[in-house]
Structure formats: C-alpha cells, structure tokens
Chain A
Amino acid sequence: MSVESLTYPPEVLVAGVGRMSLAGDWTLAASRLLEINAQKIVEHGRRATSLIIDLQAVSHLDTAGAWVINRAQQELTQARISVSLERIRPEYEAMLREAAYRDFHPPPSKRSPLIYDLLVDLGASVVGAFHDFYRGVAFLGEFVSTLAYVAANPKHFRFTALVSHIESVGLRSAPIIILINILVGAIVAQQGIFQLERFGASSLAVDLIGILVLRELGVLLTSIMIAGRSGSAITAEIGSMKMREEIDALRVMGLSANEVLIAPRVLALVCALPILTFIADMSALLGGRVVAWGYGDISPVAFLSLLKAAIAFRTFAVGLIKAPFMALVIGLIAAMDGLATEGSAESLGRQVTSSVVKSIFMVIVLDGLFAMFFAAINY
C-alpha cells in the first residue's frame, strides 16, 4: 500500500436485504478497494428487488468514487432492481451528478490476424523505400538548383554559417576520428603481421595496411562516424526547427529552408569530409607504423619504403574522391529526414534514428558501387 494508506478505506455495510450503507473514503486513492467494493454493492443488490443505499457515512467522495457508485446503480437497474441513493451530503450531490454513468461506447479496437499485419508492414516498407528513393532524387534536384541559384547570386550565400558548420562538423570531429583511425590502423597491422608471419611474409602487412586503409577503411570509417555524429545533429536541428514552425517562418519571409539551412550544412560536410578522410588516412598509417615497429620489427624507415613500393598516388586518390559523395549522401538524407519530422517528440526520435541508419547503409552501398566502378575503369 502507498504511504497515504487510507485513514478510512471504502466500506459497504449491509443492513438487511434491500438496504446497505456506504462508509469511508470513496476516492481514487483507494485504488483496487474501490472496484472491489463497487462489485460488492452489485452482488448484494442482486439478492433484493429494490435497494436503498445510504451515503451518509461516506467521508470523502471524488469523481472516481461517484463513478463506480453510479455504475453499480446502473448495473442493478438493468437487472430490474430499483436503486435509490439516500442521505447524500449536499456537497457530494454535484459530484454524483457530474459523474453520472453513461456508456461511452469506446471505438472497437481493430485487431487483425498477425500474418495480415506482417504482410501489410512488409508491403508498406517496400513502398516506403521506393518513396524514399523518389523523394531523395527529388531532393537532390532541389539542392542542385539551390546551389545553381546561389552560384548565380553569391551574395545570397551564407559564408559565416558555412564556416561555423565546417567548424562543428570538421574541426570538432577531428580528435575522435584521429583516435579511432590510429586504433584501426594498429589492429589491421597487428592482424596482418600475425597472419602473414606463418608464410614468412610479414612485410606484406605494409601493403595490406596501405591499400586497405587508403582505398577503403579511412573514408568508410570517417563517413560512418560523421553520419552518426553530424548527420544525426543535422536531422535533430532541422527536425526541431520544423516542430517549432521555424521552417514555416522562413518560408513566409520568402526565404527557402534549402538555401538558408540546408545548403550551408551539406556544403560544410562536403568540404569537411575529404579533409577528415585525409586526417583519418594519416592517423591509420601512423597506428600501423607504430605496431609494425613494435610488434613486427619493421623499422619506421623500412615501413615507409615498403609503403612507397606498395601504393601509388591513385590508391590515395581513390579514397579521397569518394569522400565528397559520401558527404553529399549523408547531408541530404539528414536534411530530408529532418524536414519530414512531424509534431511529436517521438517522431523526432524516429527521424534521427532513420537518418543515421539510412545514411550508414547508403554510405556502404555507395562504397560498393565505387569499388565496382574503379574496378571497371582499372583505376
């Protein structure tokens, strides 16, 4: 029982057939007791043809209490037993009137078979995916036309916003990107040396690190990190602006959200991601170099000359070329999902989740497409 354990729990006192009196606090604080006692009224009442309920000893009554009393009365009346309430305190009369029983006819909850729901969900999500793709392409078009407009009217472009977004997207993510890439470079080096040692080819680990990190891992890890860190922030910012009608406010001023909010953010990502990828590449090579030295007995000088032999400039360029496209995908998905936010806090949460999941997925898909493309042109 809770702390405010009732001084006077609700009670039903039966005074012979057809007569009973109620006592105690008939309030919501009695929780279960309230329903149990209301049930008692009905049970005892059914034994008589008419019932008189004396309310004089009721010390407290609230709408919940009044409701259960009225409901019991109604149930008995339907069983053709006449019920009258007597000696009601004047202050409770209004309460009993306000909480008079009425049948609310709750709308029937629609329950359909599980398999039906599953199929409906599946169909809806397939259609939803196509819609997303369609909207994504449309949004890309809108974005490009905004860029074209801005290029023609450069004084409309918000350079200050661009710089501040580059700071928050680029500069502030640099430490975490350096850290995880040093670790990943170190792990790749350790595994490479450990596995290749069995063939006496541990020096090939340097080729492994160089090619893997520069072509794939550097840009992929950076993109995933930025999708989680900055993509989610963009969705949340734009989403909460949408919720508080700030986007509408921009629109009625004749400004476009694309131009004011989205272009600077996406462009900041496009500028920052190649720089971050470069930083990531260098950090991963550093991590690999340290582990190769300490674990594989490959001196830093030897590491560099092996690396030089293993990679060409284009190995490095492949990774870097991908970065702005990754940034574009992350930025556009984040902005689009932000704009799709509806009124509730829950919807904002859903959009942020979907933005991060979608952009990480798309980053990996795009990386695969690039791999096929570069293989096809032998680059």
Chain B
Amino acid sequence: MTLIDTALSQTQLSSQDSEVIIRVRDLVVGFGEKLVMNQLNLDVYRGEVLGFVGGSGQGKSVLTRAILGLVPIRAGSIEVFGQNRNALDPAHRRALEQRWGVLFQNGALFSGLTVKQNIQMPMREMRQISQKLMDELAMLKIELVGLSIDAADKFPSELSGGMVKRAALARALALDPELLFLDEPTSGLDPIGAAEFDELISTLQHSLGLTVFMVTHDLDSLYSICDRVAALAEGKVIAQGPLKNLLESPHPWLKAYFHGVRGGRLTSTVGDYRNS
C-alpha cells in the first residue's frame, strides 16, 4: 500500500490539475471461482500515455476488456469520461463509445473489407458525411499512420503484420477519438518496426492530443513513450507512477520484471544514458 501511496503522491503533483479520463474503483472481475481482478483501482489522466504491464495470464487484457464493456464486472465501478458505461442507456453508450478507439492485439480488421472500407466503417455508421469527404479522411488517416496510398484498396489478408497494425490504428483513429486503447501494439513487429510504431504513437498522441492506454510487454515502449506505468499482479495494481519510481520499487515481481535478464540489460543502458 505504501508503494502506491508514494507513487501516487509523486505523480499527483504533476497531474493534480489534469482531468481523470478513466477511473476504476474497487473492481472485481472473475470467471467461475477464480477472481481475476480483486478490488483493483486505477486512474488514467488526460493527455498521458499510460503503459500497463503485468505477467502473462494476470489479466491485463481482461481489465482492458472490462473497461471497454466486453467483460461483465462483479463489483466496483468503471468511469470513462466521468460516465459509468454500464449504467448508460444505449444511445448515450454509443455516444461514449465513439469517443474512444481500440487497437486490438491482432488488428481485428474486417477481413471482407479493404483497408479504406475498414477505416470508413465507423464513419459510415455514425456520421452523415459525403463519400468524397469520407474518402479524403480515410486517405488522410492512412497517411497519418504511415501506410502508402496503394495500401488503401488492399484486403487485410494481403498486408504484412506491421501494415495490419498500422491499418488497425488508422481505423481506431477514424472518428478522432480522445482516448486510445492499444493492446500490445508492438507485439509481432521487428525491433525497427516496433520502434517506428512507438514513435508513430508518440507523434500522433502529441499532434492529436490523445490519451493513450497501452497494454504492453515491450520494455522499449515503456522507456520510450510512456509517461506513467501501472503494474498489475495478483488482481491489483501493485504500483503506478513514472517508470523511474517503478524501477526503484522493492516489490519482488517488479524487481524480476525490470531487473531480470532481459529487463536488466535495458535498465542498465537507460542508467548509462542518464549518467553520460
């Protein structure tokens, strides 16, 4: 508990005045006998990139899906933009859902539609705008995520893994959301592609003023683009705050995560950079 307090007190200085976009309180989620989330608390502030880490099978994806309303919750509350999604009537719920965009781990592009049609899908359903503007906006999004123009008329099965991620990001950005959920955005990309994708997210986050909730296993992403990091273990957020605080944390899982064989290599290089 002290751990969270210290982490919180340090971040609150910087984020006290900024608005809370996602507020999770005492969340309980379970499947059958097993509780995946037990009294979990989490805050995400406007304009930040929150990296969310945790061991495999600890329920990172479950939490994301619970926030998105894809998994039923047993107790507790989840507020996004100050609204409790589960208590809203369908019309307001739709309005809320248009304010966020989601990048699923494997892209989840509609396989029967071209990239351009995938991006136009949410526009077509939600807005009454001319086909010309829709085409232009889709092409703009395709360019923003760094795809070439001729990818627009390709089907998802014709794209490489990295292009699928970019196309899925373009679709997530279709309605200009304020909040972006990324589920392991760099998994399956080569280190160069992953670094480019990190940079892309960072650029878009700054130019479009996004709040980003990013589930990741990629230590590089945590170092390079996350403003704050939250760690999940045993159904709770065991620590949240700037990466620096988490690196110094004595919690055994965090120690193993950041100072283990792979993590240690990176943390030491980060240390070297700082010293030099």
**A-side interface residues toward B, CB under 8 Å?**
2-4, 27-29, 31-32, 34-35, 62-64, 67-68, 71, 91, 94-95, 97-99, 102, 104-107, 342-346
Provide the bound-state CA to CA distance between A344 and B157, in Å.
7
A93 to B, closest residue via Cβ? B207
Provide the bound-state CA to CA distance between A62 and B91, in Å.
23
- Cβ B95 vs Cβ A4 within 8 A: yes
Give, as a whole number of angstroms, the nearest-CB distance from A228 to chain B. 24
Contacts of B133 in A (CB 8 A): 34-35, 64, 67-68
The B132-159 residues at the A interface (CB cut-off 8 A) are: 133, 135-137, 139-141, 143-144, 149-150, 153, 155-158
With A63-B144, A94-B206 given, can you name 13 additional A-B contacts, CB distance below 8 Å? A2-B126, A28-B176, A34-B133, A35-B129, A63-B173, A94-B207, A95-B209, A99-B140, A107-B150, A343-B111, A343-B156, A344-B112, A346-B112
Q: Is B167 an interface residue (CB 8 A)?
A: no
Contacts of A31 in B (CB 8 A): 127-129
Provide the bound-state CA to CA distance between A43 and B175, in Å.
27
CB contact between B207 and one of A29, A64, A97 (< 8 Å): that residue: A97
Q: Is B92 an interface residue (CB 8 A)?
A: yes
The B100-149 residues at the A interface (CB cut-off 8 A) are: 111-112, 123, 126-130, 133, 135-137, 139-141, 143-144, 149
Contacts of B156 in A (CB 8 A): 343-344
CB contact between A2 and one of B95, B150, B173, B175 (< 8 Å): that residue: B95
Provide the bound-state CA to CA distance between A342 and B207, in Å.
38
B176 to A, closest residue via Cβ? A62
Q: A2-B95, A343-B156, A346-B112 are in contact. Are A98 and B207 (CB under 8 A)?
A: yes
Contacts of A345 in B (CB 8 A): 111-112
Q: A2-B95, A342-B157 are in contact. Are A104 and B208 (CB under 8 A)?
A: no
Provide the bound-state CA to CA distance between A29 and B94, in Å.
13
Provide the bound-state CA to CA distance between A234 and B243, in Å.
52
Provide the bound-state CA to CA distance between A106 and B131, in Å.
13
Give, as a whole number of angstroms, the nearest-CB distance from B29 to chain A. 28
- Cβ A107 vs Cβ B153 within 8 A: yes
B157 to A, closest residue via Cβ? A343
Contacts of B128 in A (CB 8 A): 31-32
Give, as a whole number of angstroms, the nearest-CB distance from B235 to chain A. 32
- Cβ A95 vs Cβ B157 within 8 A: no
CB contact between A71 and one of B112, B136, B153, B158 (< 8 Å): that residue: B136
Q: A31-B128, A91-B209, A98-B144 are in contact. Are A3 and B94 (CB under 8 A)?
A: yes
Contacts of B140 in A (CB 8 A): 63, 67, 99
Give, as a whole number of angstroms, the nearest-CB distance from B157 to chain A. 3
